[in-house]
């Protein structure tokens, strides 16, 4: 969905490096999410945020941190990357309540940690 | 992504046939369900959703059926086309009322459309 963009689309890094993945949205949604996707597994929630002042851990937050710089921007950081963080990372957004509860995803970032 | 289809159940259909993709969800308290389509190298794309107070909902060429008794969700695609080839997965929201809007995602089914 072009309304949700992620940068970079692909990244190769080395163990121990700090990296940041960025997400921007033009949907005007308040809620933003970071997920990772591994082969054979469903999407797993890393962190989520319901507004600029709100940050919540998901089911697999260890080793990750996030920053909600503005309503439209939500970044994910790996402070010291390790090989088992090799995965596809997706950002998603949703509106509050009503029919807007659907989460809309960005195109993903493919991360390889050597 | 390219590896999403590995180790997934596969449904192979002929172009023009109808497809039925099934999903068993886990939480009887889930009140909202979504079907997503994920093509190779792309992010999940919303297809259709349904609330727990409904049994059926129709969209363009797609129908979602919800059976709460057996915690089963299905996606029916009419007149399947080659462009429908993708991984399809369901998501449920176990948090009644959506205070957190957390979703639980299934692992998906790979739909392969044969010309």
pLDDT digits (tens, 9 = 90+) for A18-57: 999 999 999 999 999 999 999 878 899 999 999 898 999 9
pLDDT values of chain B reduced to their tens digit, one per residue, 115 residues: 343 445 689 999 999 999 999 999 988 988 889 999 999 889 999 999 999 999 999 999 999 999 999 999 999 999 999 999 999 999 998 876 556 678 889 989 999 999 8
Please report residues of B whose CB lies closer than 8 A to that of A102.
34, 46, 49
Q: What is the spatial distance between Cα B4 and Cα B100, in angstroms, rounded to a whole number? A: 26
* B43-61 per-residue burial string, b: 16 or more CB within 10 A, e: under 16: bbeebbbbebeeeeeeeee
CA quadruple A62, A18, B41, B6: dihedral sign: negative
Closest residue of chain B to A47, computed from CA coordinates: B102
Top residue of B43, B47, B103 to mutate, by most chain A CBs within 10 Å, is B43
B43 with A43: Cβ contact below 8 A: no
Nearest to A39 among B4, B45, B46 (CB): B4
**Which residues of A, range 6-65, sit inside 8 Å of B by Cβ?**
31, 37, 39-45, 48, 56, 58
Residue A99's pLDDT band, with cuts at 50, 70 and 90, is: low
Closest residue of chain B to A40, computed from CA coordinates: B7
B6 with A88: Cβ contact below 8 A: no
Beta-carbon contacts below 8 Å between A and B: 63
DSSP string, A12-51: EE-TT--EEEEEEE-S--SEEEEEEE-TTS--EEEEEEEE
């Amino acid at each position: 969905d072009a309304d949700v963009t992620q940068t970079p689309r692909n990244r190769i890094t080395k163990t121990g490096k700090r990296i940041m993945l960025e997400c921007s949205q033009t949907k005007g949604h308040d809620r933003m999410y970071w997920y990772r996707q591994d082969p054979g597994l469903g999407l797993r929630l890393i962190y989520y945020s319901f507004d600029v002042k709100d940050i919540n851990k998901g089911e697999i937050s260890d080793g990750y941190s996030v920053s909600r710089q503005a309503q439209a921007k939500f970044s994910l950081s790996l402070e010291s990357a390790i090989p088992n963080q090799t995965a596809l990372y997706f950002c998603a957004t949703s509106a509050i309540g009503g029919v807007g509860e659907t989460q809309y995803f960005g195109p993903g970032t493919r991360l390889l940690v050597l | 992504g390219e590896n999403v289809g590995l180790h997934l159940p596969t449904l192979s259909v002929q172009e023009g046939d109808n497809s039925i993709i099934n999903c068993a969800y886990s939480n009887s308290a889930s009140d909202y369900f979504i079907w997503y389509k994920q093509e190779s190298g792309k992010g999940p794309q919303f297809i259709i959703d349904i609330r727990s107070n409904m049994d059926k909902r129709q969209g363009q060429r797609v129908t979602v059926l919800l059976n709460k008794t057996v915690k089963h969700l299905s996606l029916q695609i009419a007149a399947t086309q080659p462009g429908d080839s993708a991984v399809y997965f369901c998501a449920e929201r176990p948090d009644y009322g959506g205070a957190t809007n957390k979703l639980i995602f299934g692992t998906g089914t790979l739909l392969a459309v044969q010309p």
